[in-house]
A and B are shown apart, each in its own frame.
Chain A
Amino acid sequence: MESLYLWPANPAASLLVLAILAQVFLYAARHPMHRAFAALGRLLSGGFRVAARFCKSVSTAIAQRDREMLADAGKGDAEARIAREFRRIEGTYSKELARYPDLHRRMDEVTAKIDADYKECSTATPTPPGWAEATAAVAKMEGSGDRVVHKLLEEIHRTAKDAEKKALSEVRETNSKRHKILSGMAPMWKELKNLVVESGRSVTKALESTKRIDGYMESYEKIRKSEPKAIRAVGWASTQLFVVSLLVLAIAMGGAFVNFNLIALPMSELVPSGSRIGGMPVSTVAALVVVLMEIAAGIFAMEMLGVTSFFPKLENLPASRRRMILVVSLGGLVLLAGIECSLAVLREQIVASATALKSALAGAADHTVADPASSRIPVVGQAVLGFILPFILAMVAVPLETLIATGGHIALSIATGLFLVSGTLSRLLAQGARHGAEALRHGYDILIVIPLQIERIVQSNMGKGEREGREGRAALRPQTEGRR
């Protein structure tokens, strides 16, 4: 600073002269500087506006892509649900239809039997002959005194009475038979009723399935038309699934960590622990590989069981090959679980040996401080853990698939959000740049406020002079014109 002093002995005067020179220079450069500030403001604000437009367009494109993806996923899901429902209906119908001929035959038989019985009942019952009236008429006939006639009449009367008795007994017998047939029809009616109820139940089931299919079809239609509400619902369901699968995966990773620690130490007995891969001991890498192999075996087992569908190629394999792969993967899983179980037991032995060594080095009298025989609980616990954990890890395939399937939507949503925020920030920065340039212009004017005030005074004085001159000329003009 002192090197700039014009008179080092008199810094105040030097500073004053420098300030005046600076003021003069800044005043002279005022207009170019204003233009420079304006250009800078335009440049920055234009750049930020372009960035904002870019962010907005990208976020719109990503959101559109996300919607398309959700619509596709929703369509696929709805199609799968409908197909599953159709399969269920197909199963139900094939079962019910298989039973239908039998049902129909039984109903037919029962109906035919009822019909036959009814017909038998409906045949005209023998009407009791009019013996009573005949007998009464004969009885009322007066005897003519002729013994022959009297005897004849008595004979006729007796015969009529016998015939009446016989006819009545026949009528009673027929009626009794009909009553028996009618009472025999009751279980058939009951059976018929049951059969009808059964068929009614099947029909109700079919109707319920149809209703469900109607619902699925309705949602499918909505998704197909990309209705915002339906897409939002699919998106929300996708997010929920993502969070749940993430949670389950985190828990599974905890299990994998426990599993890894369980076998890392004893693994050094099997593989050379001195060698390293990428800085990690080979035994550690081997333990990690075992854990990963368990997960891989689990993924294949789940794939072959049809729970997941990571590999479409495997889905097209014949059932026999699928079964073979399933057996291999499950066998591998059991084998690895067995290895882990034995490693867990070995681990306990190594720990006991290390404890004994430490106590021996520390100078303890009894070198076998840790007697594993005294308590088998840790060994059993570790062995059980070592056997069970691989199977639990095998289940990780399901949340993993869900995570991958829903991860796309989450990634796109996050990207959309980020671009939207960036766009908003860019717009704010564009506005800020515009106002900032204005503020700089005013700030510059504040720096040269003294020359500006001088300029104002000079201009006002000059303006006053000019105005007075104009007024003077205007006052003289009529006189001159008058003379003219």
Chain B
Amino acid sequence: MKNLMLVLFASGLFACTNSRNYAQAVVALVDVSGTYADQKPDVVNVIKRGILPKLMPGDSLYVIRIDDESYKKDNIEADLNLDVRPSRANAQKLAFARKLQDFANRPQRARHTDIRGAMMLGAEYLKETGAATRTMVVFSDMEEDLPKGVKRDLAADEFAGMRVLAMNVKKLSADNANPTAYRARLAGWKQQVTSHGAKEFQVVLEPDRLDELLDRR
């Protein structure tokens, strides 16, 4: 009888699992360089309508700006760790949405595009959350342009256990002229990201598709 009680207690302990095992963490990288800076309000709308409502109590969301040198803590525009109580989480979401709106309204344009720096920063935050599902959404044309002297070498397990979704809100005029170059660029990113541990790299064209992908935990 005593053994049975012990077994039941142990199984109960194992059955109770940490909330982190089911939590989701999302990092949204927003490009504010060149012509892409004009798309900022649209990107913020996508985050507010597509990502924010999908988050559940216990989930996390970080918005990181892609500019000249993105591997800085200052590049984090807004961060959110949702409370376990739904009412409190709703209030946090509202406050976060207001922060994002401020970010969208702020005029900003960077001369260079440090995508990898933002990705490295985002990956560090994603790892820190310890969430079971880690997703990085990159809102950019994926055309990297590092300033002189800036070096970005990705670690072998930089994106270990992460999904990277590339969402191009606006294509460059050069891409419209030569889509093959655009596709080759994306293929290059896919190769680079997956070779550094990412579970998958996917290009998302429609914001509705983003909802589906985030639902797939």
Contacts and interface: CB of A to CB of B under 8 A. Distances in A.
Contact of A357 (B57, B85, B94): B94
A268 interface: yes
Q: Interface majority SS on B: helix, strand, loop or mixed?
A: helix
A268 B57 CA distance: 9
A269 B53 contact: no
Interface stretch (B14-22, B142-150, B152-160): B14-22
A275 interface: yes
Contacts of A279: 17, 22
A357 to B, nearest CB: 5
B213 to A, nearest CB: 18
Interface in A324-368: 349-350, 353-354, 356-358, 360-363, 367
B84 A360 contact: no
B86 interface: yes
A350 B86 contact: yes
A455 B197 CA distance: 78
B21 A361 contact: no
Interface residues of A, number: 24
B90 A354 contact: yes
Nearest to A367: B94
Interface string B131-171: 00000000000000000000000000000000000000000
Interface string A263-283: 001001100111111110100
B58 interface: yes
B52 A361 contact: yes
Which of B18, B21, B57, B84 has the most A CB atoms < 10 Å from its CB? B84
Interface string B47-82: 011001100111000000000000000000000000
Given A354-B86, A361-B49, A274 B94 contact: no
B85 A269 contact: yes
Contact of A361 (B18, B22, B53, B84): B53
Given A360-B94, A361-B53, A265 B19 contact: no
Contacts of A274: 19, 22-23, 57-58, 84
B86 A358 contact: no
B110 interface: no
B22 A273 contact: no
Given A268-B85, A278-B15, A362-B49, A273 B57 contact: yes
B129 interface: no
Contact of A273 (B49, B85, B90, B93): B85
A273 B58 CA distance: 8
A275 B19 contact: yes
Nearest to B16: A277
Nearest to B47: A361
B87 A363 contact: no
B94 A272 contact: no
B87 A273 contact: no
Contacts of B94: 357, 360, 367
A265 B57 CA distance: 12
A165 to B, nearest CB: 114
A268 B23 CA distance: 15
A273 B93 CA distance: 17
Contacts of B49: 361-362
Contacts of A367: 94
Contact of B53 (A268, A273, A349, A358): A358
Given A268-B57, A272-B84, A353 B90 contact: yes
Given A358-B53, A361-B49, A273 B86 contact: yes
Given A360-B97, A363-B45, A265 B15 contact: no
Contact of B15 (A269, A277, A357, A358): A277
A276 B21 contact: yes
Interface in B9-35: 15-19, 21-23
Contacts of B85: 268-269, 273
A445 B16 CA distance: 69
A269 B93 contact: no
Contact of B18 (A265, A275, A357, A360): A275
B48 A353 contact: no
B190 to A, nearest CB: 31
A274 B21 CA distance: 9
Which of A272, A274, A353, A363 has the most B CB atoms < 10 Å from its CB? A274
A356 B23 CA distance: 24
A272 B93 contact: no
Interface string A180-216: 0000000000000000000000000000000000000
Given A275-B19, A276-B19, A276-B22, A361 B48 contact: yes
Nearest to B58: A274
A276 to B, nearest CB: 5
Contacts of A349: 87
B17 A276 contact: yes
B97 A273 contact: no
Contacts of B57: 268, 273-274
Interface in B178-203: none
Given A353-B90, A354-B86, A358-B53, A272 B19 contact: yes
B48 to A, nearest CB: 5
A187 B143 CA distance: 121
B187 to A, nearest CB: 34
B66 to A, nearest CB: 23
Given A274-B19, A275-B19, A277-B15, A269 B97 contact: no
Contacts of A277: 15-17
B93 A361 contact: yes
Which of A276, A361, A363 has the most B CB atoms < 10 Å from its CB? A361
B103 to A, nearest CB: 15
Contacts of B19: 272, 274-276
A-B pairs with the 4 shortest C-beta distances?
A: A274-B19, A274-B58, A274-B84, A272-B84
16 contacts: A268-B85, A269-B85, A273-B57, A273-B84, A274-B84, A275-B18, A276-B17, A278-B15, A279-B17, A279-B22, A353-B90, A357-B90, A357-B93, A361-B49, A361-B93, A363-B48
Given A269-B85, A279-B17, A357-B93, 8 more contacts: A273-B85, A274-B19, A275-B19, A276-B21, A277-B15, A277-B16, A354-B86, A361-B53
